[in-house]
Structure 1
Amino acid sequence: MDATKQDGQHDSIVIMVDGTEKTMAENQKRKDWGCLPYIAQVLQASDTKKLVHAVKFGLALVLVSLLYMLEVVHDKLGNNAMWAVMTVVVLTEYTVGATVIKGLNRGVGTTLGGGLGCFVAMLAQEIGGIGKAVAIGMSIFILGAAATYMRLVPNIKKKYDYGVLIFILTLSLVSISGVRGNEIIQVASDRLSSIFMGFAITAFTSLFIFPLWAGDELHSSLASQFDSIAQSIEDFLDDHIVQANGKKGTDEARKLSTCFSVLTSKSTHESLANFARWEPWHGRFGFQYPWNKYLEIARLLQELAANIITAEGFMKTKLEVCHTSTKELCKGASSLLAGAMRELGGSILHMKQFQQQDIAGEAFQEMRAELSAYIQVHSSATTINHSGAVDNGMKCSAGHSMFLLISMVEILDRVQDLVIGVKELGVSAGFVDPMPHEKS
């Protein structure tokens, strides 16, 4: 304590504490460095692949900027070398396939647009006078309108929209450049060279520095959906036994979110499959790999997810007590279907043949026969209930059980289709046979 003073007028005591300035400095220092824990938390939560992609993009920008600053390059290309920087910015994509297809689109669009633009400009120079402006205007109008109409064609828009857009841009820029014909060719050549350099740098960082393959993304995404759907099947069947007994089941929002994510993944899978077709050979994914089979399996998964959502939407309003026999059948079906889905997902993930098709087929047939028998029994019970021989509570219980059994039959059929689809994928893609100790 530094000093204590008595204020006689107000009878107050003022206490001066040593180290006050030091404490305030330490608090200010903590505030200055307070962002570091937040940054560390963000980095921990971020996907490693996204961080790798960001670092690769930064490296590509550094390389192309250093290239632009070289005197030799600047003397040769002049300000056209800036097109290399723009090319890196617009071409860099998350996966190798997306980068390759976008680069090819840009290259083809630039070449065709530049070639036609040079032809239009030289033709306009030959005409001269007012006819020069008319020729350029008519050419840009006709070619631009035709290219824009092509962009509206679904197949072209999905695969080549960026290339057509670059074609329109390059055609317009070259056509209205206003320089002499011999200089037009030189400008187009310099810009094409700059674009090629930018594409080369982008391709190098994308292909050779921790490449992120669209094929791998599609492969792992599809395999993970099998596990997600398996969990949804278990939640759906088990919850309608647990909740009917008055217990709390799985959170509905979490349960259905998995199925909705499968339903909304169609466009993502189609894009990844399209990108994967343009990727070079890597790992076990070679040329002519059957990516269409992946899309067929994804479609079957979406149908299965739709069945689960539909059944859940009806069953959540009908939490009647299930018969004991129905409970046991639901437990058996849950175990069989979820186990089969996880085995199918593992078969795709590890690229190994699904060896349990015959065994699974027999188990599915037996389960289907049991379900059909129970459906007939409950259908008869419901018919009797409508005649008034049984009370209303039993009627609701029988109707609830019958719909639950019908839903299981539909889910069972979808899983059987998936078994066939995965088997066909294994044959087309050359999946290896599992080791003897892995067979059961």
Structure 2
Amino acid sequence: MGSAVIDIPDGEGVGVTLKEKKKFQFSLQPIISFLRENNKKIQFSLPPIVSYLREKKTKHDMRRVIHSTKVGVALVLVSLLFLLDPIYVQVGDNAMWAIMTVVVIFEFYAGATLSKGLNRGMGTILGGGLGCLAAALAQEVGGKIGHAIVVGIFVFIFAAAATYARLVPRIKKRYDYGALIFILTFNLVVVSGVRAVKVLQIARERLLTIGMGFAICIFISLLIFPIWASDELHDSIASKFEDLARSIEGCMEEYFGIVNEKESQPSAKNSSSCKSVLYSKSKDESLANFAKWEPWHGKFGLYYPWGRYLQMGEHLRELTATIISMEGCLQSPRQPSTTLRHLFKEPCEAVVSLLASTLRELRESILKMRVCHAEKIVPKLKSKRLEFSLVISPSKLATIENGEGYTIATFMFLLMEMVKKVEELAKEVEELGEPAGFSTY
């Protein structure tokens, strides 16, 4: 018997047989299975920028996106000097200097943008003004030889003086870029070889367009989602107290958690935290320099004592160096026995607990800008240091044989050094409170 065929009408009245339907369903299976197997690969093919923004959600990454957007907006605005005919007629090709200004001075932090902008302005004005005077004097001398001699003398004097100024540490920190722009502008003006009147005209037009670019940068950098170097430095210094407190606690757990005489390795997290604090000097100095250029904003007024943050950073790095030395005790192949370590565990835990709590208290004082009362903190640390010195007295350590007393004494001596350094930090935080205007409640 032949197989029956059932017509299934569709919207257009065309029948589809059951066999054809089965064949049609069967032919979709490889496609469906392929899509299921390669689902992850297809999702991975999303635009790189979209997938990157989904993965990166931290505060710092968000600020990068904001900064990039602000730079793009600034360049669009300054490009209107070229794109709009009424404005271009007024400024001409000098509009290129405005674009160059935006590209050069727009930095991540508002203070850095303001610093480079003011330095560029001062360097341009001084270099252009002195260059015009030098060019005018050279024209008065007359003659090609006399003109060349006068120009050469002026170039040598001002270039040498500005270069020497750049080597002075105090000037180099804050005005190095301005001195560089001064040298460049002065030489461009004085050796131009044109008449003094034309030199003044060119300098005036270029200064005007540079001022336009500077105004756009400052407006966007300071008024639209500003990224303050002062906030970064303040939060960074405060977070270092917490990082070091965790590192000290981590060393304590690892040292007294060693079993079966196995060599211990400090955790990667502790090491990375210590290294980030130890190598933070250059970043702290840059942030402090930028913060000094920033105007009054939020909780930071003019003449805020950023220099004390740098002093505090030095004490934090000294404490970090001691913690790293303690981590060296964990890596040493000569470790005291478990019994001996547990014999001194209780007094060491008491010291570490006091150190960690004190560091966190100092962090809260800085972060919330509250006055730190060192007269309450330092006596506790000194008392604990005196008690601890009795525990590691030579008379007790001398009774320990096989040289194990020296290994445990090294660890405990480093703890005592940490107590001293935390005492100094407490005094530094207290001294910061008055000039910084910390609250007393």
Task: Identify whether the pair has TM-score above 0.5, normalized to the shorter chain.
Answer: yes
Q: How many angstroms does 1:38 deviate by?
A: 3.4
Matching of residues 130-145 of structure 1 within 5 Å? 130-145=145-160
Pair 1:297 & 2:315 matched: no
Which of 414, 422, 427 is 2:434 aligned to? 427
1:127-168 Cα shifts (integer Å, max 9, x gaps) = 232322333233223322332232222222222111111111
1:42-61 Cα shifts (integer Å, max 9, x gaps) = 54366111111111111111
The separation in 2 between residues aligned to 1:23 and 1:121, in whole angstroms, is 80
What residue in structure 2 maps to residue 213 of structure 1? 228
What residue in structure 1 maps to residue 127 of structure 2? 113
Which of 78, 87, 101 is 1:64 aligned to? 78
Q: How many angstroms does 1:248 deviate by?
A: 9.0
Structure 2 counterpart of 1:289, which letter? Y
Structure 1 counterpart of 2:378, which letter? G
Which of 332, 335, 342 is 1:319 aligned to? 335
TM-score by structure 1 length?
0.86
Matching of residues 138-157 of structure 1 within 5 Å? 138-157=153-172
Structure 1 counterpart of 2:422, which letter? V
Shift in CA distance, 237/24, structure 1 to aligned 2, threshold 3 Å: closer
Matching of residues 274-353 of structure 1 within 5 Å? 274-317=289-332, 318-321=334-337, 322-353=340-371
Q: How many angstroms does 1:245 deviate by?
A: 6.0
Shift in CA distance, 360/154, structure 1 to aligned 2, threshold 3 Å: closer
The separation in 2 between residues aligned to 1:193 and 1:167, in whole angstroms, is 17
Shift in CA distance, 59/294, structure 1 to aligned 2, threshold 3 Å: same
Structure 1 alignment gaps of length 5 or more: 4-15, 386-390, 435-440
CA contact (8 A) 1:64 1:84 kept: yes
1:217-259 Cα shifts (integer Å, max 9, x gaps) = 1100000000000001111222111125658967433212211
Q: How many angstroms does 1:187 deviate by?
A: 0.4
Q: How many angstroms does 1:432 deviate by?
A: 1.2
1:291-348 Cα shifts (integer Å, max 9, x gaps) = 1111111111011001111232244213212343410011111111101101111110
The separation in 1 between residues aligned to 2:123 and 2:145, in whole angstroms, is 29
What residue in structure 1 maps to residue 139 of structure 2? 125
Worse-matched range after superposition: 55-64 or 31-40? 31-40
The separation in 2 between residues aligned to 1:34 and 1:120, in whole angstroms, is 57
CA contact (8 A) 2:263 2:335 kept: no
Worse-matched range after superposition: 186-195 or 120-129? 120-129
CA contact (8 A) 1:240 1:319 kept: no
Q: How many angstroms does 1:176 deviate by?
A: 2.3
The separation in 1 between residues aligned to 2:249 and 2:29, in whole angstroms, is 63
CA contact (8 A) 1:2 1:18 kept: no
CA root-mean-square deviation: 3.0
Pair 1:226 & 2:233 matched: no
CA contact (8 A) 1:238 1:334 kept: no
TM-score by structure 2 length?
0.85
Structure 2 counterpart of 1:81, which letter? A
Which of 101, 105, 117 is 1:103 aligned to? 117
CA contact (8 A) 2:238 2:363 kept: yes
Q: How many residues align?
A: 414
SS at match of 2:57: helix
Pair 1:401 & 2:408 matched: yes
CA contact (8 A) 1:244 1:320 kept: no
What residue in structure 2 maps to residue 94 of structure 1? 108
Structure 1 counterpart of 2:103, which letter? V
Matching of residues 155-166 of structure 1 within 5 Å? 155-166=170-181
The separation in 1 between residues aligned to 2:432 and 2:425, in whole angstroms, is 10
Structure 2 alignment gaps of length 5 or more: 1-18
The separation in 2 between residues aligned to 1:112 and 1:131, in whole angstroms, is 24
Shift in CA distance, 237/2, structure 1 to aligned 2, threshold 3 Å: same
Worse-matched range after superposition: 251-260 or 160-169? 251-260
Matching of residues 263-274 of structure 1 within 5 Å? 263-274=278-289
The separation in 2 between residues aligned to 1:21 and 1:36, in whole angstroms, is 29
